Amino acid sequence: MFALDNHDQARSATLPVGYRVIEQPKLAEILTHPSVRWPFHVGMLSGLRVLHGQPENVKEWIALGKAVPLEAFRSALEIALPELVVEPYGRILSCRDRRNTRDIGHAVVEVLYEMRTRGPAKRD
């Protein structure tokens, strides 16, 4: 519901509402074990506005996700990165293995560009 002080200012407004059902143990598993699903769920929780219920639960879930050690993210990224950007990532590994410092920067820029413009690879 929207309440305006001045009826002359009244205008049509929309409020996007959606729901996603997930059991709390499953959510805790996703939040404490980084994967390609982690950013989606933490992002959803970060933008969530509780209309009914206990908003402190959302804060606790966000804190749970943020408490994951950095090393867990690095490990998850090593596993997921080839799925996210296959060909440019292979070039980074090739440059690393050959100690090719001249070309590795270009490959990194390409990986970052691909991640920003295409997003994760589609799964079958």
62 and 91 fall within a common domain: no
44 and 20 fall within a common domain: yes
Strand, coil or helix: 19: coil
Q: How does pLDDT run across 5-51, given as a tens digit for each residue? A: 555 555 566 666 677 788 999 999 999 998 888 888 888 898 888 87
Confidence of residue 73 (pLDDT cuts 50, 70, 90): confident
Q: Domain total for the chain? A: 2
Which structural domain range is residue 22 located in? 7-69
Q: Across the chain, what does the average pLDDT equal?
A: 79
Q: For residue 123, tell me if it sits in a domain.
A: no
56 and 104 fall within a common domain: no
12 and 63 fall within a common domain: yes
For residue 59, give the amino acid letter.
K
Closest to 36 (Cα-Cα) out of 113, 119, 116: 119
